[in-house]
Amino acid sequence: MKINKTFSRITAYLHRNISKDVLDVLKKMKLQDVHLASARSIVIEEKKGLISIMPGRDLAQDPLDIIFFLVTPESEEPLVNLIIEKGHLYYPGRGSILVEEVELIESHEFFGDYAIQPFEISSQPVHLYSCIGICCIMKRGQGDAVARIALDTGTCVPAIHFGTGTGVRDKMGLLRITISPEKEIIHAFPTIHEADHILEMMIEVGRLDQPGSGFIYSFPIKKGLVNTRVNRGEQRHAASIEQIVTAVDHMKGNTEWRRRRTMVDKRSVRKKKYLRGLVDMILLCDGGTGMELVKAAMSAGAGGATISSMQYMSPHDSPVSDISLARELCSMVIPEETKEAVINVLEESGAFTDRCHGQIHLRRTSKAYTYVGK
C-alpha cells in the first residue's frame, strides 16, 4: 500500500556487547519492525612490544551491530535519549546514533503504523547535532583503507558491513564471474564542514575515479551523536582528546567550533564532477527475494544495487511476527526521475505482497561520485 509519509529513521551503531542491552529495551517497548545487521568498527590501536616493529596491523576490529527502525518524528527524541542512556553512548567509544528523515513510499500492509506508546524519560536529554553521512561501497577487502580516513582525521569511528553488488556485472554473460559481487559498505559521519574534505579524501584513497572501483555518496543527517574515540591505548592525560571534544561540543551546543583548515592539498586534486539529484532507495524485503526484485528494478532504469542481509526483530504477538527472520536490504541509488518507474515495477513484481513483505524508504543524497566514463 502507498504511504508517502515522512518518518524518522533511527540508526544505532553499537558495540555487540552493548547492543544486547539496547535490544532488550526495544523489545520491552514492543517496538515493531526493527532491523539488525552485523558489522565491524575499526579503531587505531597502539602497537606494543615486538608487534610494533611489524608494519600495518594497527587496527583493532570490533563487532558492531547496526540497528535501525522507523518512528514518527514526535517519538524520535525520547527513543534516541533512551538508547543513549541504555548504551551509555555519551562516553566516547561505545557507539553512534543517528536520526535522519526518510520518506516511506510504499510497503506491505503490515507496516502501516509506526506510532509507539509514550514513555517516561529517566534522564537529562543529550544534545545532538546535525552531521553528514557518507556511504562508500567498495570491493571486498579494500574497505579498511577508505575507512581509515575517518580515523586518521579524527572524524569518527567508521562502520563497515558486507553486501553483494549487482550492476554492470549483470549485464555481462558468464564473464561476470570475473567481477566479484562481494562488496564492503563503509559508513562514516563527519560534521557538516568536514564532510566535503572527507569525501574527497576517500575518493582519492579508494581511487574511485577508476572504472569499477566503487561508489560513494553523502546524505544529510538530521541529528546524531557520533562516536569519536578513534584511538585506543594508554592515556597520558587527565582527559582524552575525545572527551575534551565531546565536552566542548556540549558546552558550545554545536560542532561549528571544530571547523578546520582544508585537509586535502588542493593542487593535487582534480576537480570532480559530482552526481547530484540522486535518491537512495532502500528496499527491505524477505531473505532470498532481493535479487529478483533488484533485477526487476534494473529493468526499469536502476543502475545497480547493493544487497546486504539483515535480521528482523519484532514482538511475538504482532502481525509482523509472521515475517521471516532473514531479511534483505537493497540499496539503489537512482536519479529522482526514475523513482516512480522503479517503484511501479517493484509493485508489479510483488514486492509488497506476502511473499516479499517489502517496504521502500527513500532518502535524499547530497552528492555522489563514481567513475562515469568519458
Partner 1 sequence: MADKKSKRIKINMRQALALLFPYIKDRVMSQIKSVWLIILYLVFFQTIILRIPISESSVIAFGIGLVIIGLTIFMEGLFLGLMRLGSLVGSGLPKKSPITVILTFGLLLGFLATLAEPSIHVLQMAGKTVKPWEAPLLFILLNKYSHYLVYAVGAGVGVAVALGMLRFYYSISLKPFIYLFVGPLVLVTVWASLDSNLKNIIGLAWDCGAVTTGPVTVPLVLALGIGISRMVGSADSGATGFGVVTLASLLPIVAVLGLGIYLNSSVPQPMSETDFFKKNVRSQIEVLFRNKDDLTHYVLMETSPQAQLSFFGGNHEEMLRYLKDLAMSEPKRKAVFGAANDALERWAFLRGTKEQQKAVFGHLENMQEAASQYTKEGTTGINIRDLGKRNLAAAIKAIGLLAIPILIVFFLLVRESMPYPDEIVLGIFFCILGLATFGMGIELGLDRLGTQIGSKLPASFKAISLPDDRKTISNFDFDMVHVAISSDGEKRQFFFSENDGKMITIPYDPSDFDQLTGQYRYTPVKGPLFGSGSPLPGILVVILFAFIMGYGATLAEPALNALGATVEELTAGTFRKSLLMQAVAVGVGGGIALGITKIVLDIPLAWILVPPYIILILITKFSTEEFVNIGWDSAGVTTGPITVPLVLAMGLGIGTQVGVIEGFGILASASVCPILSVLLLGLHIDRKRKAALAEESFADEEAGKDKK
- The window from 73-81, 112-120, 178-186, 263-271 that contacts partner 1 (CB under 8 A) reads 178-186
Cα distance between residue 284 and residue 218, in whole Å: 20
Nearest residue (CB) to partner 1, 55 versus 173: 173
Residue 66 near residue 36, CB atoms below 8 Å: yes
58, 101, 103, 292: residue in contact with partner 1 (rule CB under 8 A): 292
Under the binding rule (CB under 8 A), the answer on residue 5 touching partner 1 is no
Give the nearer residue to partner 1 in terms of CB position, either 132 or 160: 160
**In terms of CB distance, is 220 or 287 closer to partner 1?**
287
- 18 touches partner 1 by CB under 8 A: yes
Instruction: Write out the binding residues for partner 1, residues 97-136 only, by CB under 8 A.
Output: none
Distance CA 159, CA 96 (A): 10
Of positions 11, 12, 15, 199, contacts partner 1 by CB under 8 A = 15
Q: Residue 245 CB, nearest distance to partner 1 (Å)?
A: 14
Binding marks (x or -) toward partner 1, 243..282, rule CB under 8 A?
A: -----------------------------------x----
Choose between 76 and 242: whose C-beta lies nearer to partner 1: 242
Least spacing, CB of residue 5 vs partner 1, in Å: 26
Strand 305-313 vs strand 359-364: parallel, antiparallel, or unpaired? unpaired
Task: Report the nearest approach of partner 1 to the CB of residue 334 (Å).
Answer: 5
Nearer to partner 1, 86 or 197 (CB): 86
Q: What's the CA gap between 83 and 21, in Å, rounded?
A: 9
Angstrom distance (rounded) from CA 120 to CA 95? 23
Residue pair 293/368 in contact by the 8 Å Cβ criterion: no
Q: Which is nearer to partner 1, 76 or 214 (CB)?
A: 214
Q: How far is the CB of 232 from partner 1 (least distance, A)?
A: 6
Q: Is 177 in the site for partner 1 (CB under 8 A)?
A: yes
213 binds partner 1 (CB under 8 A): no
23 touches partner 1 by CB under 8 A: yes
Residue 196: half-sphere exposure toward Cβ, Cα within 13 Å: 11
Total number of residues binding partner 1 (CB under 8 A)?
63
Judge whether 29 and 318 are in contact, CB under 8 Å.
no
Nearest distance, CB of residue 20 and partner 1, angstroms: 6
Q: Which of residues 306-345 bind partner 1 (CB under 8 A)?
A: 309, 311, 313, 324-326, 333-335, 338
Which of 9, 40, 357, 363 contacts partner 1 by CB under 8 A? 40
- Is residue 59 at the binding interface for partner 1, with CB under 8 A as the rule? no
User: Which CB, 31 or 37, lies closer to partner 1?
Assistant: 37
Question: Are 137 and 368 spatial neighbours (Cβ–Cβ below 8 Å)?
Answer: no
Binding segment for partner 1 among 35-43, 46-54, 129-137, 259-267 (CB under 8 A)? Answer: 35-43
Amino acid at 313: M
Q: Which residues bind partner 1 (CB under 8 A)?
A: 15, 17-18, 20-21, 23, 36-40, 60-64, 88, 91-94, 143, 160-162, 168, 170-179, 184, 229, 232, 278, 287-288, 291-292, 295, 298-299, 301-304, 309, 311, 313, 324-326, 333-335, 338, 370, 372
